[in-house]
Amino acid sequence: MQDFANVFHNTVLLVAIAACLIAQVLKLVVELVRHGKVTVRTLFETGGMPSAHSAFVTALATGVGQTVGWETPEFAIAAIFAVIVMYDAAGVRQAAGKQARVLNQMMEEFFHDATFHEDRLKELLGHTPVQVIAGCILGVAISWLAARAY
C-alpha cells in the first residue's frame, strides 16, 4: 500500500488531471458567456467546450513525451491512446448524441398526448471537432506550462 502513495508524486498524472479539471471549469465560463447563467451540473456532464477528455489525454501524452522522450514506446502508447479518445469524443459519441436527439423527437411526436414513463435519452454525449481541438490545445499548453514550473 505504501507504493500506491507514490501515485501522488506522479507529476505527469497530476498535470493531466489538472488539465481535465481546468477544462471542466472553463465549460462554466463558456456557459456563462453564451447563456448568461451557470449550471453547476455542467461540471459533471460530458460534451461542451472545451473537451475535457481531449485536454486530459493530450496533457498526458505531452507529459509522457516531455518526461521519457518523444521517441519512446511510452509516448507512442500515450499518443495513440489520445487519438483514439479524441476520435471517439468527436465521432462515435457525437453520432450517438444525434441519434438520441432524433429518438427523443420521435417519442415526443408519437406520445405527445399519452403518458410515457421513460426518461429522455441524453443528447449531449460527444464533442464537435472544434471542442476537441480546443481541449487538445488546452492540454498541451497546460503540460508545457507545468513542465516550465518544475
Q: Which residues have C-beta within 8 Å of that of residue 7, sequence separation ≥ 6?
A: 13
**CA-to-CA distance for 133 and 144, rounded, in angstroms?**
17
- The residues spanned by each domain of the chain are 3-91+126-149
Closest residue by Cα to residue 21 from 135, 150, 127, 148: 135
What pLDDT sits at residue 123? 59
List, run by run, the mean pLDDT of 10-residue segments along the chain (150 residues). Answer: 80 96 92 84 79 96 97 98 91 70 74 65 70 96 92
- pLDDT number for residue 99: 73
Tell me, what's the pLDDT at 48?
82
* pLDDT in the model for residue 16: 97
pLDDT of residue 124: 59
Check residue 126 and give its pLDDT. 66
Q: Given this model, what pLDDT does residue 44 score? A: 77
pTM for this structure?
Answer: 0.78
How many Å is the Cα radius of gyration of the chain? 19
- Tell me the Ramachandran region of residue 69: left when phi exceeds 0, alpha when psi lies from -120 to 50, beta otherwise: left
The per-residue pLDDT for 118 is 65
Query: CA 147 → CA 11, 21, 43, 46, 52, distances in Å?
Result: 9, 18, 26, 28, 20
